[in-house]
Amino acid sequence: MDVVLASRLQFAVASLFHFLFVPLTLGLSILTAIFETLYVKTGDEDYKRAAKFWGKLFLINFALGVVTGITLEFQFGTNWSRYSMYVGDIFGSLLAIEATLAFFLESTFIAVWHFGWNRLSPKLHALCIWLVAIASNISALWILLANGWMQNPVGYTIRNGRAELASFIDVITNPFGWMEFIHTVSGAYILAGFFVLGVSAWHLARKNEVAFFKKCFRVAATWTLIFALFEVFNGHLHGSEVAKAQPTKLAAMESLWETKQGAPMYLFIIPDEKNERNKVELFPIPGMLSLLAYHSPNATVKGLKEWPREERPPVTLTFWSFRLMVGLGFLFAALSVLVFLSRDNPGRFPWLLRILPWVIPLPYLACEFGWMVAEVGRQPWIVYGLMKTYEAVSPISPLQVGISLLAFILFYTLLGLVDFYLLFKFARKGPEPRTKVSLTAKPATI
Amino acid sequence: MEHNIYQVIWFILWGVLWAVYFMLDGFDFGLGMIMPFVAKNDMERRVIYNAAGPFWDGNEVWLITAGGATFAAFPKAYAIMFSTLYTPLLLILFALILRGVAFEFRAKEESPVWKAVWDLCLVVGSFVPSLLFGVAFANFFLGLPIDREGILHGNIITLLNPYGVLGGLLFVVMFVVHGATWLCVKSEGDLCRRARHVAEKFWVLEVLILGIFLVATGLVTDLWANFFRYKILLIIPALALLGLISIPAFLGQGRYWWAWFASALTVLMTTAFGFAGLFPRLIPSRLDPAATLTIYNASSSPLTLKIMTAVALIFVPIVILYQIWAYKLFSDKVSPEFLETEEAY
C-alpha cells in the first residue's frame, strides 16, 4: 500500500470515528441546557433529573469525542505535512482560533457543570451547560470554515511558494463554509433529537418513568421537527453552492456523465464507473437536476466526461453516499412530522414508539455519508482546484503508516465498543430516582 | 522571508503555551504515575482520580492550543516537527486517549477487573506522554537529524540518544514531584502523608537529574550561548532552581499549595530555559545548519501573525481568568462526602 492511500484511509478512519461522537455533543449539549433551563424556570424536579440523565450520556459520549479530536489535529502534521506547509498560513490559524475560542471554554465549563451541582446556584449552573453548548457549536463553525476553505478556497494569494492569507474577512465569510456549518449542525441536532426520542420511546414502550420520559419526548419532538424540515431546505441551498464551487463533485453526486441542458433527475440510478455510464437510469423528472442546481429547468449541468478521468472523484462512492444521505434526510423529515403529531400523547402511534429506538443509528449513518460526499467528492483535490491530495502527504515510510493505520483501527474499535456499551447501559438504566418522592402524584398513562 | 516583531511575539507565545501545558497537565501525569505507589485501596485511587477530575480536560486543551499555535504561526515547523516525530507522537496521542477515557469510564462499572484495566490505562497513559515529551523536547534542543527537505535521517531509536533519554527522565521525575505535591494539596491523612513522602524522595532525584541535564546541555548543545550573550536570561534557570529548592522547604512546613506553586515554577522555568536557549531557532538541524527551522524561515505571513496576535491577546487572558476561577471553585480537598455523590469519578 502506498503512503497516500494509507494516509487517506487513516484520516478516514480517524475522522469518521471522531464524527460518531461529535454530532451528539453538538445537539445533546443544547437539549441538556434546555432541560436544565426548564428546571430553573419551572422548578420541576423532573427537568433537573432530565438534565442529569441526558448530561450523563452526554459526558460518556463527549469523552471519546474530545480524545479522538486531538489525533485529527495532529494528523495534519504527521501525515499531511506538505499540505500543512502549503496552506498552514490560513488553515492553521483557523484551527488555532477554534482551540482558543471554543475548546478552552467547552472543557473548562463541562467540568464545572459536571462537578459543580452543589457548588453553584441553579442559574449559574445552567449557564455553564449553555456555555458548553455554545462553545461546542462555535468550534463546529471554525472547523467547518477550515473545511469550507478546502472545498472552496477564497481570500488567499500564492506567495513564497505557498498559499498565504490575503483577506481574513473573505475566509471567515466563505459562503461554502457557512453552508457546511448550517447543514452539519442541523444534521447533528436531528441526530440528538432522534437519540432523545429513541431512548424516551424505549422507556415509554416499557412504561418506565412515564411522566419523565413524556416530558423529554415532548421537547425533543418539537426540536427534531424544526431541524429535520430545515435540513431539507438548507441541504438544497448547500447543493446549489456545491454546483457553483465544485462542478465535479455535483456531477459525481448525481452520476451525470454527459453535459446536458435541462438535465433530468433520475430517481433510480446504478452507476457504471468503468464504462463511464449508468447501468440503470429509471424514473426521470425532466429538468429537475438543472432546476435544483441552478434554479432554472433549462440550465446546463456539466457531466463527468468534461474532465479527464484523473480529475474526477470516485463516482460510485460519492453517488451512493449522497443518495443514501438524502433518502435518510427525507425519512427523518417524515418521521419528525409523525413524532410531532404525537408529542402530547407519545402512544398515539404505538408502532412509532416501537420503531423509534431503531431509528437512533440512522442519523449517524446520514452524518457519515454526508462527510463521505464532502471529502470523497472533493477528490482528487485536497484543496479544490489548488492542491492535489497526493502532493500533500508527508515524506514518511509506508510501513510506518501501515502500522499506525492498523493500530488506529484496532484501538478505535475497542474504544468504540466500550463507549457504546456504556451509552446503552446508562440509557436503559433511566434517570436516577426522584430524591423527594411524591407519593401522591398519579402515574401518567400513555 | 522578512523579519518582523510578530515572529518574536509568537515565539514567546509558543514557548508560553507549551510551558503552561507542561505545568498543568504535568501534575495530572504525575498523579497517574504515582497512583500504584501511594494508593492502597479503591477509595484512595478514587481520591487521585478526583484530584485531577475537574481539571485534566481543560489542561489538555493547552496541548491542542500549543499544537494549533505551532500550526498557525510556524506551519513549516509544525509540519516537520510532527511528520519527523511520527511514531512517538502517535504513541503520545494514543496514550492520552487511554488516559482521558480512564477518567470517564472507570467509575461506570463495579467490577474490580474493569477498574484495574482503567487504572492501568491511567498509569500507562500518564507515563508514556511524560517520557516521550521529554525525549522529544530534548531532541529539539539537541537538533534533529533533518535535511533541507525536512526529512528525518533516522528513526525512533535515533531519538533515544543519551541526551534524549535524559530529557525523558527529567520530565518523568519532574512530573512525579509535581503530581505528588498536587496530591498533598488535594488529599488528607495517610494518602497525603504518602504523597509527601514520594514528593520528597523524587525531589532528590529531580535535583540530580536537572543538574546533570543542565551540565549535559552545556556539553552537547549550544543552548547556554543565548544566556551568556543576554545575561538577563539567566534569571530563567535561576528561577527554576529557586522553585526547586523551595519545594522541600514548603513540604516540610506542610504548606502544600506553596510547594505546588514552587514545583509549577520549576516546570515552567525548566521548559522556558529550553525555549530561551533555542531562540530564534524552532528546530535546529544536526545535519545541516541551512536546514535549521527558525522563526524567520518557518513563520506564517505577517497578516496571519497579526490576526493571531490579536486573537491571542484578547482571548488567552480571558481563558486564564476563567480557568483560575474554576481552579478556585474546586480548590478544596477531595472529601469522602464528595466521593459519595453520583458525579464523582
d(CA B260, CA B246): 10
Q: Using the beta-carbon criterion (under 8 Å), do B322 and A105 form an inter-chain contact?
A: yes
All residues of chain B having their beta carbon less than 8 Å from the beta carbon of residue A99 are 61, 64-65, 68
Q: Which residue on chain A is closest to B339 by alpha carbon?
A: A115
Neighbours of A62 (CB within 10 A): 25
**pLDDT tens digits, chain B, 345 residues: what are they?**
578 999 999 999 999 999 999 999 999 999 999 999 999 999 999 999 999 999 999 999 999 999 999 999 999 999 999 999 999 999 999 999 999 999 999 999 999 999 999 999 999 999 999 999 999 999 999 999 999 888 888 888 888 999 999 999 999 999 999 999 999 999 999 999 999 999 999 999 999 999 999 999 999 999 999 999 999 999 999 999 999 999 999 999 999 999 999 999 999 999 999 999 999 999 999 988 899 999 999 999 999 999 999 999 999 999 999 999 999 999 999 988 888 888 888
Residue B153 lies in a domain: yes
pLDDT in tens, A123-154: 999 999 999 999 999 999 999 999 999 999 99
Distance of residue B173 Cα from the nearest chain A Cα, in angstroms = 25
Distance of residue A389 Cα from the nearest chain B Cα, in angstroms = 16
For chain A, the first-to-last Cα distance in angstroms comes to: 57
d(CA A99, CA B66): 9
Q: Using the beta-carbon criterion (under 8 Å), do A115 and B343 form an inter-chain contact?
A: yes
Q: Using the beta-carbon criterion (under 8 Å), do A89 and B89 form an inter-chain contact?
A: no
d(CA A109, CA A126): 11
Burial per residue of A268-302, b for 16 or more beta-carbon CB atoms within 10 angstroms, e otherwise: ebebebeeeebeeeeeeeebbbbbbbbeebebebb
Contact B200, B170 (CB under 8 A): no
Considering only residues 94 to 123 of chain B, which have any Cβ-Cβ distance to chain A shorter than 8 Å? 94, 96-97, 100-101, 103-105, 108
Cα R_g (chain B), whole angstroms:
20
Burial per residue of B326-341, b for 16 or more beta-carbon CB atoms within 10 angstroms, e otherwise: beeebeebbeeebbee
Q: Is the pLDDT score of A433 beyond 90?
A: no
Which of B75, B93, B100 is opposite residue A74, by nearest beta carbon?
A: B93
Q: Which residue on chain B is closest to A64 by alpha carbon?
A: B101
Which structural domain, as residue segments, surrounds residue B119? 5-340
Q: Which residues contact B238 (CB under 8 A, 6 or more apart)?
A: none
Residue B303 lies in a domain: yes
All residues of chain A having their beta carbon less than 8 Å from the beta carbon of residue B1 are 160
Closest CA to B239 of B211, B215, B270: B270
Distance of residue A99 Cα from the nearest chain B Cα, in angstroms = 5
Residue B290 lies in a domain: yes
Which of B94, B151, B307 is opposite residue A93, by nearest beta carbon?
A: B307
Q: Using the beta-carbon criterion (under 8 Å), do B82 and A77 form an inter-chain contact?
A: yes
Residue B345 lies in a domain: no
Q: Using the beta-carbon criterion (under 8 Å), do B105 and A407 form an inter-chain contact?
A: no
Considering only residues 223 to 252 of chain B, which have any Cβ-Cβ distance to chain A shorter than 8 Å? none
A·B CB contacts under 8 A? 213
Q: Using the beta-carbon criterion (under 8 Å), do B108 and A422 form an inter-chain contact?
A: yes
Q: Using the beta-carbon criterion (under 8 Å), do B101 and A422 form an inter-chain contact?
A: no
Q: Which residue on chain B is closest to A93 by alpha carbon?
A: B72
* Counted domains in chain B: 1
Q: Judge if ipTM > 0.90.
A: yes
Q: Which residue on chain B is closest to A82 by alpha carbon?
A: B79
User: Is B81 touching A (CB cutoff 8 A)?
Assistant: yes
All residues of chain A having their beta carbon less than 8 Å from the beta carbon of residue B150 are 81, 395
Closest CA to A368 of A5, A13, A72, A8: A13
All residues of chain A having their beta carbon less than 8 Å from the beta carbon of residue B55 are 111
Looking up cell 418539537 gives A222
pLDDT in tens, A222-266: 999 999 999 999 999 999 999 999 999 999 999 999 999 989 999
The CA angle B1-A171-A392, to the nearest 5 degrees, is 60
Query: Would you mind telling me the total number of residues written for chain B in this entry?
Result: 345
pLDDT in tens, A53-77: 999 999 999 999 988 988 998 999 9
Distance of residue B249 Cα from the nearest chain A Cα, in angstroms = 32
CA atoms within 13 A of residue A170's CA, in its CB half-sphere: 12
Query: Where are the strands (E) in A188-276, listed by range?
Result: 260-261, 265-272
